[in-house]
Amino acid sequence: MIEVRDLHKAFGTVKAVDGVSFKARDGEITGLLGPNGAGKTTTLRMLYTLMTPDRGQVLVDGIDAAQDALAVRRELGVLPDARGLYKRLTARENIDYFARLHGLPEELLDSRREALVKALDMADIADRRTEGFSQGQRVKTAIARALIHDPRNVILDEPTNGLDVMATRGLRQFMQHLKSEGRCVLFSSHIMQEVGALCDRIVVIANGRVVADETPAALREQTGEANLEDAFVKIIGSEEGLAA
Ligand SMILES: Nc1ncnc2c1ncn2[C@@H]1O[C@H](COP(=O)(O)OP(=O)(O)OP(=O)(O)O)[C@@H](O)[C@H]1O
């Protein structure tokens, strides 16, 4: 479970995150939805301890990120906005390198890695150097790498960005699989259709603030709009920066 309490982060005069609070629960997919520049990436970066908040608290499985960032990182699997693979290493070697950084026992490595290679349908690319990988191949490798230490909480920053229809479908199924294993899955997106189809709960962010935190059905009901896209536009007050 991930809990965020009253997070703030400013860059000069830009209030990127301006009092964000929400919970992402185990066994659920929570979507952070907002237009371009809403503060999604900045919020996620504070969650996975890459950035220190000006104010506010991040709790992962009850551990305070400000008190014990290392313990929080152990509980998290993160697909960051910059996917950053080692291009001279193969996909398998990239995964193994992270496993060793996490101190995963060698006897567990093979079975854990191969389970991810299978679940992400990446057997055909696993022994290729990642240099020259397509966007979808890069995302798969980065996700496998992020999950090798079997974290209970998974954070994905715009995971389907740049993926084609088939790769997007595969990734959505994989996220459902993570949920069925009881994990807490939190991802950001500005694609309404995606969030509506996948999420148990939607946290809508605009101008660094949470403007809605509901189930998709409740959002439709609250706004009186049958269509989720219309509901979002009503909540945010503008269509700018949202993709259908
Ligand atoms: N390192 C930084 N320095 C200065 N401004 C920043 C920095 N990071 C983010 N910002 C600003 O903070 C605001 C929120 O940005 P953020 O990247 O969190 O938005 P986002 O919701 O992830 O947007 P997108 O969907 O476009 O990725 C924006 O106005 C952005 O320009």
Q: Please give the Cα distance from 243 to 56 (Å, whole number).
A: 30
CA of 10 to the centre of ligand 1 (A): 10
Stretch 165-183: mean pLDDT: 91
Task: Say if residue 50's pLDDT is above 60.
Answer: yes
Asked whether residue 242 falls in the same domain as residue 156, the answer is yes
For residues 127 and 91, the answer to whether their CB atoms sit within 8 Å is yes
117 lines ligand 1 (CB under 6 A): no
Three-class SS of residue 58? strand
In this structure, the answer to whether residues 178 and 64 fall within a common structural domain is yes
Instruction: Please tell me what DSSP assigns to residue 237.
Output: S
For atom 28 of ligand 1, which residue has the closest CA? Answer: 37
* 17 CA → ligand 1 middle, Å: 9
Nearest CA to ligand 1 atom 11: 16
- What's the domain count of the chain? 2
**Position in ligand 1 atom list of the atom nearest CA 42:** 18
User: What spacing in Å lies between the alpha carbon of 39 and ligand 1's midpoint?
Assistant: 6
CATH number at residue 184: 3.40.50.300
Q: Does residue 189's CB lie within 6 angstroms of at least one atom of ligand 1? A: no
Domain limit, last residue, from 105, 127, 150: 150
Q: 41 in ligand 1 pocket by Cβ < 6 Å?
A: yes
Whether residues 140 and 169 share a domain: the answer is no
20, containing H or E segment: strand 14-24
Residues 158 and 193 in one domain: yes
Domain span including residue 107: 83-150
CA gap 67, 240 in Å, rounded: 38
The rounded mean pLDDT for the chain is 91
Q: Burial level of 88, CB count in 10 A (0-12/13-18/19+)?
A: exposed
State the average pLDDT over residues 78-104: 90
pLDDT at 135 exceeding the cut of 70: yes
Shared-domain flag, residues 28 and 143:
no
CB 153 less than 6 A from any atom of ligand 1: no
Q: Is the CB of 11 under 6 A from ligand 1?
A: yes
Q: Are residues 196 and 129 in the same domain?
A: no
The whole-angstrom separation of Cα 87 and Cα 65 is 31
Do 157 and 227 fall within a single domain? yes
- CA-nearest residue for atom 1, ligand 1, is 11
User: Which among 54-63, 101-110, 206-215 has the top mean pLDDT?
Assistant: 54-63
Tell whether 136 and 197 lie within a shared domain: no
Shared domain for 179 and 189, answered yes or no, is yes
If you measure from the C-alpha of residue 7 to the centroid of ligand 1, how many angstroms do you get, rounded to a whole number? Answer: 15
For ligand 1, the distance from its centroid to the CA atom of residue 175, given in whole angstroms, is: 25
Query: Ligand 1 pocket: which of 41, 155, 187 to mutate (most atoms <8 Å of CB)?
Result: 41
Same domain, 120 and 143: yes
Please give the share of the chain, as a percent, with pLDDT higher than 70: 97
Is residue 239 pLDDT above 60, yes or no? Answer: no
